[in-house]
Structure 1
Amino acid sequence: MTTHRYATALDWSGSTGAGYEAYDRTHALEVSGVELCASADVAFRGDASLPNPEELLLAAASSCQLLSFLAVAATARIDVVDYRDDARAVMDEADPPLRVGRIVLRPTVTVRGEVSEERVRHLLEVAHRECFIARSLTSEVTIEPTVVRSVR
């Protein structure tokens, strides 16, 4: 069996000496040699123009679902020609402990050829069960797909 290992780098500098309200939340993340600039959610005094950890978690769940679905669709010889996801996450402060408690993935999947919507929905569920990120989360992750037939 192979063990997969992942690494990122994070860099922040500043001062928390003036208290919680005053320090800068902006930090650099390096992932696979690509540097991203991130911050905290605005609710936690972050910069709204930068991605925050909660958004990055949602993006990881959405991306993993896409990649898992494309793999199972290709194996099943289903011709997927477009996939767009309008994903959402909810973190409810009234439901402690504070965490992202719910993720909803809303993919619109466009397929070409003779394949039933039921088959595509089944493959989306198979992909969800195989998604490494979804299986790693304690959050509820649901999928609300729309299936479209390509006219080309």
Structure 2
Amino acid sequence: MTTHNYASTLRWAGRTLDYDSYSREHDITMSGTAVTTSADSAFRGDAALPNPEQFVVAAASSCQLLSFLAVAALGGVEVLEYEDAAEGVMPDDERPMRLTSIVLRPRIIVRGATIERVERLLHKAHQQCYIANSLITDVTIEPTIEVR
């Protein structure tokens, strides 16, 4: 049996003199690539930088894409384009506070398949998506499919 391990490093420096004034900016490094991130602006972060909640939504979107491309290729379906406008929702009144839903809205262009077949492959990919399977939040898919 193989176990896959995933690593990242994180670095923050500053001073926490009080809650309002410390910097939320920090660097996350994955596979040698550093990304400067912050808290959401609602939590005193920098709105110009990505935040952890966005990383979760992006991970779900990316995993769905990669799972779909795999099942499509194995199923003989030619995928020409795939774009996703994913969105996560985190209500202030939900306790514990958390992302309560992630909606993936892929726009997919394929050749040589019916819309129904692509929808079945999307469902199969969703069942195999490691990230969606790791989350307690609902991850749903609202696709737009074009056959050429």
Provide the TM-score with structure 2 as the length reference: 0.99
Partner secondary structure for residue 119 of structure 2: helix
How far did residue 8 of structure 1 move? 0.3
Q: What amino acid does structure 2 have at the position aligned with 1:9?
A: T
2:92 paired with 1:93: yes
Aligned to 1:131: 129
Q: What amino acid does structure 2 have at the position aligned with 1:116?
A: T
Question: Where in structure 2 are there 5+ consecutive unaligned residues?
Answer: none
Aligned to 1:112: 111
d(CA) in 1 for partners of 2:56, 2:141: 16
Cα RMSD, aligned residues only: 0.6
Q: Which runs of 4+ in 1 moved over 3 A?
A: none
How far did residue 94 of structure 1 move? 1.1
d(CA) in 1 for partners of 2:22, 2:125: 41
Provide the TM-score with structure 1 as the length reference: 0.96
d(CA) in 1 for partners of 2:41, 2:125: 33
Partner secondary structure for residue 10 of structure 2: strand
Cα distance per residue 1:51-94 (max 9 Å; x no partner) = 00000000000000000000000000000010000100000111
d(CA) in 2 for partners of 1:88, 1:103: 6
Aligned to 1:28: 27
Q: What amino acid does structure 2 have at the position aligned with 1:54?
A: E
2:64 paired with 1:65: yes
Identical positions, percent: 54
d(CA) in 2 for partners of 1:95, 1:40: 19
How far did residue 111 of structure 1 move? 0.2
How far did residue 112 of structure 1 move? 1.1
Cα distance per residue 1:104-137 (max 9 Å; x no partner) = 0000110012x11011001001000000000000
Does structure 1 conserve the Cα–Cα contact (< 8 Å) formed by 2:114 and 2:147? no
Partner secondary structure for residue 138 of structure 1: coil
d(CA) in 2 for partners of 1:31, 1:41: 21
d(CA) in 2 for partners of 1:139, 1:16: 32
Question: Where in structure 1 are there 5+ consecutive unaligned residues?
Answer: none
d(CA) in 2 for partners of 1:128, 1:16: 42
2:143 paired with 1:145: yes
d(CA) in 1 for partners of 2:26, 2:125: 33
Q: What amino acid does structure 1 have at the position aligned with 2:48?
A: S
Aligned to 1:13: 13
